[in-house]
Every structure is written in structure tokens, then in C-alpha cells.
Amino acid sequence: MSDEDENQLDEQEALREEDVSVQTDQQRFKPFVQPYPDQRAGAPLNLPNGNNVDDASFANPCEPFSGWTNWEFAWWAKTEDVSAAALTKLLKIDGVIEKLGLSYSTAAGLNEFIDKQLPSPHPNFVRQEYKVDGHTYVLYHRDPMECIRTLWGDHELTPHLVFRPERHYEDEDHTIRIYHDMHTAKWWWATQKAVDRDSPGGTIIPLLISTDKTTLTIFGGKAAYPMYLTIANLPKEIRRKPSRHAQVLLGYLPVTSLDHITCTASRRRTIANLFHACVSQIMEPLKDAGRDGVNLRSGDNVWRRCHPIFATFIGDYPEQILVACVKKGECPSCDIPYDEIGEGIGDFIFRDLEDILDALDSISQGPTAYNKACKDAGIKPVQHPFWEQLPYSHVYRSITPDILHQLYQGFIKHLIQWLQSAYGDAQLDKRCQVLPPNHNIRLFLNGISHLQRVTGREHSQITSILLGLIINLPLPHQQSPRRLVRAVRAVLDFTYLAQYPVHNQATLDTLDEALTRFHDNKAIFIDLGIRAHFRIPKIHVVEHYSTFIQLYGTTDNYNTEYTERLHIDLAKNAYRSTNFKDELPQMTRWLIRREKMVHHKATIERRLAGQPTPIIYQQPSVGVTYERFIKMAKSPSRKSVSLTTLANTYGATNFEHALACFLISRDQPTLPWNHIVRRARQLDLSDCKFNVFHFIKFTIFDPYHRPNPVRIIDSIHAKPARLDKYNHVIPARFDTVLMDRGNDLNGISRYRVGRVRAVFTLPNDLVLEYFSGVDDMPSHFAYVELYSLFSTPDPDHDLHKIKPEIRNGSHLARIIPIDNICRSVHLFPKIGSAVDPEWTSDNVLDQADTFFVNAFSDRDMYYTLSTI
């Protein structure tokens, strides 16, 4: 047997699975549901439904606007941030008003029309003044009950409302409980039982309250302090999408540092009292409504006795300790001693609310007795915290975890700083510059040390490459980096696991185990002189994540990242619409007008649909990831590409041989491999031309996403170098992918990494000859260079090492249907102690000979590699 035949036989194991039919791995499932046993909970009331239908004339669905053009112009003017002056100038152009048939002639006239003619979905804001040492501070707020009434009665939201708690399980025997939305967690179930003991038949409306200061100007120091409300009866996927308008601005709290009070302790105490006085004023209507219930009608005209109950407070650490009335540096939830913070997982218990309420009751005994009682209870002597009389609430169990500020702007931020201290900025920056591109990876080609005011999103992007920056990077003084690498891996594991949208006890145990691994290895930072201790509250509070996930569902129920996004719509844009003088009244008027326009748009759509009855949605499937679908362009990027071009321009050097083997094996799947190789040499494909595509895109179907439920979440590039409009060379990019080798394989052996050099369709003559009569013939194929099979991961960083498969000096390659490609995959090059000066981000996949598979490119990749 010739050497060539031996090499071809070596390929047999790598190429033989080409004809295996690949089925998409379903990552979502229908849970087994145990409903709340008392059927009276969340049940409708026997009350007349009344009429909740818009009676406007369908002859003109845009009423009170005179017609479509009138309405569309108003919608454009109020949603495209057109300034009042520019709009007025446009309307003054001769003939514009007449030709468009507008019922207003100035921006002020449009505002007046909206103010008088359109109904408001939410209540107006109330202005209230507070006097502090002769200074006046203003609160603008709404009635929360009216806001809840609007959310509850929204036609768009009604089909998604949940009325009673449930327990969800993975198995029919109800042994593996899962947690996702808040109604599947323990708090709602326990609160429903507490309400039923006093008055059976109520419907719980869990209230999620969030506050967060935000700057309105880059310079000048203008800030706003918005307070938001939403209800957990709506799925988290809806609550976190601003386009669904499930979050309501309750008010703007006063922004002040009370600098005129010179005593620091007195100033802090006064700020706390002012905050709680304002929030108490806002929350006042919820006391009786939460205790006694109030009849509310949903968008389907069904009445229920509802109990709006304060469930969670969402905010950054300064807001958390302000709400909890505890000192800076303490945990807002538990009573852990200060010198034990950051030391590891312990048996911490929530603060005793009963003892704290008893201390608050002593306020009538005078300042001295009150201060002592509060000190003994472990809180500040705040006068009447807003949560003091809220029914069925436990504030110290309501201050939920926060991925954005606690992990990305807390734990991860500290970790990056420690690594910069350990290795130096130059070393990390050089490694950033040679990482290959990927759809889910942001390349920091100038490094990370120069970044200023790093956002949570940027910290998240750094997290996806952080482990690859330190693998094989030596520490000073020849210290072993083993503990440091393990500590980093543990923090990254915790960060990704904490963001799972579905948890069970196994994943929660893995979450706690990751935190334990960090504590077991964190002493390396003390040994390096980087830290003296770990008494950092944001590191301590992550120890409560598992408990809070069981109480309130997964962390995407209560992440401040969603309220940060609301700042743009409900604070920053509102401020830009003002003349920057006495801005709060203008901001509230702008917001009300915007809400009216959005509400009227939904009304028009409902009228056009004939006032349909709200759809009843079935329980959606749950899972960590969504099923992916491949989306290809309708037209090829290049047509009639020759074999020479594929070899020279795309790097598909063995394209003809690989395609010949593929075609023959498909035509005669039982033929021995050496016969396939022999016949492949005789098959002449030199005259064939191929239509080539430069992208493969992956989409998911998200039923909650509007307006288009189909979203692109991943893409693969396979395109050669080209010139831009300035004749500058744009380097070639050929991405690496994760391939499914077939359903008869299990675990990690089912997958393999390859590099896509060309994506193409077959010429018609080859289709007719080799696929005639095949109903499920693949539409597109890919020429893929193979990497070695997965090996046992490294025990420290737990990443799989792979190498390009080389035969006789060239890459081992194969042709596969693109349906066998699962997703893109990002690789870390094995760098060693120093970066090769010849390496760049554009050529590292060609230059390096060893790689590690990046498990942190996105949550889907992490889940895939963690569960196989």
C-alpha cells in the first residue's frame, strides 16, 4: 500500500460520518407543573364584566386624528426626537399643512392636541415639596395603584398574565424542581399561603421596585433619580424588553447630597430620611391595597381581587444599604459580622425583621431610646422606613442580587484590576491584540488598560476573553500561576452560571461549588501583595445568589441592566427634550405625551384587527438556550467561482479531492474507503463552477421579542481579503465552527472544531447526478479544515486543547452539509510566556499550532461545553 493510500485511510475515521443525518438538539422542554392547591387563588370574581372596549369609529381608526397622514406625521414628530423649533419650521413651509391635512400648525399645537385629545394610559405626576433646613426638594410621583391598574388592564399584556404560583419540575415524578419566572419560585407560593390565611381567593401581584441614579449630562453634573415599577405576573422576557412597556416610571426622587449640612453623620442620616419619606409617600396607597385587596379588571374584562405586594427591591449597593437602613460595608440582607465578609460561604441568615420593627416602634420613646434600639437591632435610626407598614413584605429578603453591579461592575471589575496588578498592563494588552475574531467576541485590539469609565457591557465583553489572556502567562518571581488560574476560572464559572435563565438544584450546587473554588484559591492575590483582605460587600453578597434564585426565580427577573436601559427612554431622552431649566416638569410632560402616543398606536392596531379577544398563551417551553436555525442569503456573494479561485483566494487547497470523496461516498455509502479514494482520483471536477456564500447566520425564534420574533444571534464568516473604497486591504476572515459529528456519538466526542474556508452550492449537473431523487438534499455545503478531536481538559483552566489536523504538510479537510455546523466557536491561541511578534488577530489562526476552545464566548457555548 502506498504512503498516499495510508494517509487516505487515516482520513477514514475523520471523514466517515459525513453522511450522518444531524438532528437539532432540543435545548428547551415543557416543564411538569404542580399548581397551587387552592383553586380559589387567582380565580375570577363573579362581577359584571362591563365594557372595556374602545368604542371609537372603525371608519377612522386613527381618531381623534383626522386620517392616516395626520397620525403618521404626529407619530414621526414625537418618536424621532425632532426638536420643537425644527418641527415648527417645517410646518411653516407653504403648503405642508394643507397637503398633509394636519390639524396643527406648530409643535406647540401638536402638543396641545395630544394633551387634550388623547387619553393617558397612566396617571399624571404629582409635585410635592420637602423642606430640609430651609432648602426645598421636589418629588414628582404617580399613584402606584393607578399604574398597576393600567398594566393589569393592558390588552397587549393580558394574555401573558400569571395569576397563581406554581412549582415546576423537569420530571414527571416531581423530584427535580426548576426555577425560572418568579411564579415558579418559593416566595410567591409562601406569600399566597399567607394571604389565604387572612382572606382566601386573592390574586398576588408581586411588585418589583427599582431605583438608580443616572447622569443626564456629560458635563455639568445634572442627574435624575428615577423609580420604576413592574409586576411579576408578566414573564421576565416581557418585563425586560422596553418595547413592551411593562415597566412604569413611578417618579423622580430628589437628587441631592445636602452639602449645606457640614456634619457627615447628620448629612447621611438626613439623606436617608429624605429618601424614605419620598418613597413612603409613593408607596402609601399600597398598604391598604396589599392587605385588603382591590378589585382589578384585566384586559379580557375579567375581575379579580388583587393584592399588590412589595416583592423585590432592585438597585445598586448604595441604594440597597439605603433601603435596608444599614451602614456602608455591611450586607443589606444578612447580619454577617464585618470581619467575616468575603471569607467564604457560611450559614448566614437574613436579618430579623421582627426585631427591627420592634426597634422602629420605639421612636415614640424619644431620640436616645430610639437610637439605642436601632443600634442594637443593627440598623440606622431612620424615621419610618417606607417598608415599615407594607403587608406581607420582608425587606431584607427583598433586596435581590444584581448581575450588572455586583458581578460585572463589582466582582469582575475587581478581578480584572487584580490581574492587571499581577501581570502588568503590557502583557495583557499584547495578548488581547492577537485573539482571532468571532461574532460573539469584542476584540480589544488596543488592549484593555486604556479603557476609561468601563461599562458593565465592556466588563462582560472582557469576561469572555479573560481566561485566554492568562493561560501559560508566568507570574513574577517564578511563582506558580496555578491557584490564580483556578480562581479566575471559578469566578467566570460563577458569573455564567448565575445568569442561567433556568436553574435546578444541580446547577445551584454547581454555582455554590464555583464560589467555593474561588475562596479555596483566592489567597494567591494576598501572596502576590495585591490584596490584604477580601472584605468587599459585592463579593460577599454573591454567596446569597442560590438562596435568592430559589426565592424569586432566576437573576434575569431582577437585573438592574434592564433599568439602566430604561434610563435612556425615561430620563435621558426626556431631559434632552427640555430647555434645561426647571427640567423635571418638562420631562414629565414629555413622558406623558410619549405614553399617550404609544397607547394610541396600540389602540389603532386593535381597531384595525377588529377588537380581537386576547389570545390565551400556552405555557412556553423553558431552557437555557433557544434552538438555532441557519439562515442563508438568497443570492450568493460570488457566482461561478472556479476551483483555482477556491484554492488560491479562499485557501481551499484540497477542494476538488474532498468534494470528489464526498460525492462518491454519498452515491455509494457502503463502498470501502480505499475504493472511494481510488475512484475520487478518476473523477474530474476541474470544469465545475460554484456559487459561493461569505456568511452563515444563525437565528432563534423568541416569541416575546417584538416586532420581529426572529433574531440573528451568531454568524460565520468565510470571505477572502478585499479592498475597501480607499484601496486599503481588509484581511481575509475564515471562522472556526463547532460541528456535530452525528447522533450515534455522545458527550464531547459528538463535536469537533473546524475552520470554514468556503460555503457553496453544487452545480446543477452534480446535483442531478449524485442527488437525483433525494428529497432532503442539503442546500448548502461547506469546505472545512479539521482540528483534532477534543481531549481531556486541563485541570486548572478546564479548557479543551486542540490542534490543526495536518497530513503531508496540508490541512485535513472535508465537505459537510452546513446543517452539521452547530455554531461559531472562538479559539484562544496557546501563547506561552511571550507573544510571537509575527502574530496578529488576522493571521493567528494560520500561525499558531495549538489552541484552546473558548467556553466563554457566550452563554450558549458555555452551556454546551458544560453539559457534554
For residue 691, give the nearest of 778, 781, 762, 771 by alpha carbon. Answer: 762
For residue 318, give the nearest of 443, 406, 427 by alpha carbon. Answer: 406
Q: Give the H/E segment covering residue 153.
A: helix 144-153
- Establish how many alpha carbons lie within 13 A of residue 595's alpha carbon, considering only the half-sphere containing its beta carbon: 25
**What pLDDT was estimated at residue 55?**
52
Q: Which residues of the chain fall short of a pLDDT of 50?
A: 1-26
Q: Counting Cβ atoms within 10 Å, is residue 724 exposed (0-12), middle (13-18) or buried (19+)?
A: exposed
Q: What are phi and psi of 829, to 5 degrees?
A: -70, 140
Domain layout of the chain by residue ranges: 3-27+623-825, 68-117, 126-400+558-599, 403-552
Q: How far apart are CA 676 and CA 663, in angstroms?
A: 9
Q: How far apart are CA 736 and CA 784, in angstroms?
A: 9
Q: How far apart are CA 2 and CA 101, in angstroms?
A: 85
**What pLDDT was estimated at residue 12?**
40
Q: How far apart are CA 339 and CA 297, in angstroms?
A: 51
Q: How far apart are CA 325 and CA 342, in angstroms?
A: 21
Q: What DSSP character marks residue 727? A: S
| Side-by-side strand order, sheet with 801-802 | 801-802, 851-853, 827-829
**What pLDDT was estimated at residue 51?**
59
Taking a C-beta distance cutoff of 8 angstroms, is the pair 546, 498 a contact? no
Taking a C-beta distance cutoff of 8 angstroms, is the pair 345, 516 a contact? yes
For residue 224, give the nearest of 588, 603, 728, 664 by alpha carbon. Answer: 588
Residue with cell 420637602: 130
Q: What is the pLDDT of residues 375-410, one digit of tens each?
A: 999 999 999 999 999 999 999 999 999 999 999 999
Residue with cell 433599568: 563
Cell digits for 788?
A: 483534532
For residue 753, give the nearest of 817, 793, 805 by alpha carbon. Answer: 805
Give the residue ranges of DSSP H helices in 771-820: none
**What pLDDT was estimated at residue 10?**
38
Q: How far apart are CA 336 and CA 235, in angstroms?
A: 34
Q: What DSSP character marks residue 441? A: B
Which whole-number Å values give the CA distances from 845 to 250, 428, 438, 783, in the listed order? 52, 19, 12, 16
Taking a C-beta distance cutoff of 8 angstroms, is the pair 8, 654 a contact? no
**What pLDDT was estimated at residue 122?**
93
Q: How far apart are CA 290 and CA 392, in angstroms?
A: 8
Q: Counting Cβ atoms within 10 Å, is residue 571 exposed (0-12), middle (13-18) or buried (19+)?
A: buried
**What pLDDT was estimated at residue 137?**
95
Cβ atoms within 10 Å, residue 95:
7
Name the β-bridge partners of 845: none
Strand pairing category for 303-314 and 203-211: parallel
Q: How far apart are CA 390 and CA 280, in angstroms?
A: 10
3-class DSSP assignment, residue 169: strand
**What pLDDT was estimated at residue 58?**
67
**What pLDDT was estimated at residue 744?**
67
